[in-house]
Amino acid sequence: MADEKGKQATTPSQEGGEQVAFPEGNLSKDAGEHTPSPDKSVSQAATPQQEHKTSLWRAVLLLAVATAGVAVLSEVLVGSIEPVTEALHWRPSFVGLVFIPLIGGLPEYFNTISMALDKRMNMVLAASAGSSIQIALLMAPILVLVSLVMPKRLDLVFSVVELAVLGLATFLFGEITKDGELVWLEGFLLILLYTMMGATIFLFGS
């Protein structure tokens, strides 16, 4: 027993021929402490991948639920707005071009405001223009094509006033935002333009 406890590992000194003795038990203990276990390192490497997969599926599930909720709420909004517009004698063009987009786009407005507060103006301009482009170049043509197999067809027929207002709004928005910056005066001009567009459609729309 005494001989086993007294066993020591000797290593040559770097400066001379002397040997420095270390307890053999301490060396094996330290080596066991500082050497990571292969199973433990593999499990630590696999944990971030598992968390990434879980968060991805969770995000996809939340997106699907949110999309279904928006579809249901949109249907409720359209169904409840028709009696109101008939009672107030609002023009269909004003309801379709101004009122419904104004109410339905509230979540997007809050998102855009939060990005503007973070001074991400490029994202603000891209989101603002991208939403309109998506509706005009993607959703509207899809609805027209789908309506071909429906009992009632959807035709995109605009009056001269509506085309003039939309064309002017598109031109001015492009001229104001082409430098990628937006100051308070330009923002005020855009709000004034939107107000004028809404008033024109309300008075002279179809």
What are 24-39's pLDDT values in tens digits? 444 444 444 455 555 5
Let me know: does 156 contact 140? Beta carbons within 8 Å.
yes
In whole angstroms, give the CA distance from residue 129 to residue 112: 12
Highest mean pLDDT among 103-117, 140-154, 169-183: 140-154
Specify the range with the lowest mean pLDDT, choosing from 13-22, 90-99, 103-112, 121-130.
13-22
75 or 37: which leads in pLDDT = 75
Q: What is the pLDDT of residue 52?
A: 64
In whole angstroms, give the CA distance from residue 199 to residue 161: 12
Q: In this model, does residue 95 exceed pLDDT 60?
A: yes
- What is this structure's pTM? 0.55
In whole angstroms, give the CA distance from residue 61 to residue 94: 36
Structure tokens at 197: 């567009």
Q: What is the pLDDT of residue 53?
A: 66
Provide the residue ranges of all domains of the chain, joining segments of one domain with +: 48-89, 91-206
Amino acid in position 53: K
Q: What is the pLDDT of residue 101?
A: 80
Structure tokens at 178: 């082409």
Q: What is the pLDDT of residue 47?
A: 62
Please tell me whether residue 90 adopts helix, strand or coil conformation. coil
Average pLDDT, the chain: 73
Let me know: does 148 contact 156? Beta carbons within 8 Å.
no
Specify the range with the lowest mean pLDDT, choosing from 1-10, 103-112, 168-177.
1-10
The 10 Å Cβ neighbour count of residue 144 is 13
What are 29-70's pLDDT values in tens digits? 444 445 555 554 445 545 666 666 668 888 888 888 887 887
The 10 Å Cβ neighbour count of residue 97 is 20
In whole angstroms, give the CA distance from residue 83 to residue 81: 6
Of all residues in the chain, what percent carry a pLDDT higher than 90? 1
Q: Which residues are within 8 A (CB) of 177 and not within 5 positions of it... i.e. 6 or more apart? A: 125, 129, 186
The 10 Å Cβ neighbour count of residue 93 is 18
Q: Which residues are within 8 A (CB) of 113 and not within 5 positions of it... i.e. 6 or more apart? A: none
In whole angstroms, give the CA distance from residue 84 to residue 82: 5
